[in-house]
Structure 1
């Protein structure tokens, strides 16, 4: 069992997915999770139900699996609501090839955009120009070339694209939750 302050990573969740008989990447569901937390404040129960549906199971195979899946939601919510703006999409890390990492980013983006599309045009009308443009730019990420070689140039490009997805996610959350994160409220601002 991992300690509560230990960040869940992509590999941990991918292994958990495999334990449930799913070859699906957690990146897609993480993209959905991020957008759902921003738009609907998806509840723990609804999230667990959605993940199980995605995995093709009725329920997590054991209590620890369920707790890990709920910790995933909590970790994302905490990061999105944190004033440090340190949210990170759950993506394959350096242990994976650049092609696998690009595929992970693409899947995350597809999941994120799926929830955005479901929100409807009326909801998007009220969004800032910056957010609408950031979301529009993400549609380009959904079709990026993922069959890329491991090179410094590709790595830099992928980092920039990932950073764009990260910023779009945080912008969506902060616009939907005015006053959160409480960027100005930290003790460090008092001198």
Structure 2
């Protein structure tokens, strides 16, 4: 299995960050990536430039790192456009504490909202459904949420619900900006 076929998860991308000397979380850039793909697309080259800029390097250290970073973009784009509606933000998983997971969601939301502020004007916003506007209006509060939380079932359930809200807001934005993609009404139809 090549890196291209391998699923890019939070730890794999975080490892590429570490390889480049960065202790940042990839969650922030994943939020940016999702919003960019939904609103105006971002080419593979532009994405690589953005990641390298964030990491403070001119180019990826090696071809395997470049492949993984490009696979991250491709995987996100495919998930956003898939009829299964299976997009998942790139966030710390259950191997991390709930506090780390909450910080990841907060960072993802900050990145997503940053692109909304850069790209969205009133004319575009008026074209969206009220459900989408409402979902997006809730996101800044997520960016301000308390992240110093204990590992408890109640906090885990709350964090799951907040993550699901962010995920659905991202999917709604993508589907409204890309009518006909995904073709959720036609489960038997292929997208090709």
Does the pair score TM above 0.5?
A: yes
Aligned length: 189
How far apart are 1:3 and its partner, in Å? 4.7
CA distance in structure 2 between the aligned counterparts of 1:120 and 1:81, rounded to whole angstroms: 21
Unaligned runs of 5+ in 1: none
How far apart are 1:2 and its partner, in Å? 4.4
Match of 2:157 in 1: 156
CA distance in structure 1 between the aligned counterparts of 2:76 and 2:91, rounded to whole angstroms: 13
How far apart are 1:124 and its partner, in Å? 1.6
How far apart are 1:185 and its partner, in Å? 2.8
CA distance in structure 2 between the aligned counterparts of 1:52 and 1:119, rounded to whole angstroms: 21
CA distance in structure 2 between the aligned counterparts of 1:3 and 1:187, rounded to whole angstroms: 29
1:7-22 matches, cutoff 5 A: 7-22=7-22
Structure 1 window deviating more from structure 2 (69-78 vs 111-120): it is 111-120
8 Å contact kept, 2:9–2:90: yes
TM-score with structure 2 setting the length: 0.95
Q: Does 1:58 align with 2:58?
A: yes
CA gap of 1:58–1:3, structure 2 versus 1, over 3 A, is closer
The alignment yields a C-alpha RMSD, in angstroms, of 1.5
1:31-70 matches, cutoff 5 A: 31-70=31-70
How far apart are 1:187 and its partner, in Å? 2.1
Kindly provide the CA deviation profile for residues 115-153 of structure 1, in whole angstroms up to 9, marking residues without a partner as x.
Answer: 001113322222111111001111110000000000000
Match of 2:176 in 1: 175
Q: Does 1:85 align with 2:100?
A: no
CA distance in structure 2 between the aligned counterparts of 1:120 and 1:77, rounded to whole angstroms: 20
Match of 2:94 in 1: 94
CA gap of 1:171–1:56, structure 2 versus 1, over 3 A, is same
8 Å contact kept, 2:84–2:184: yes
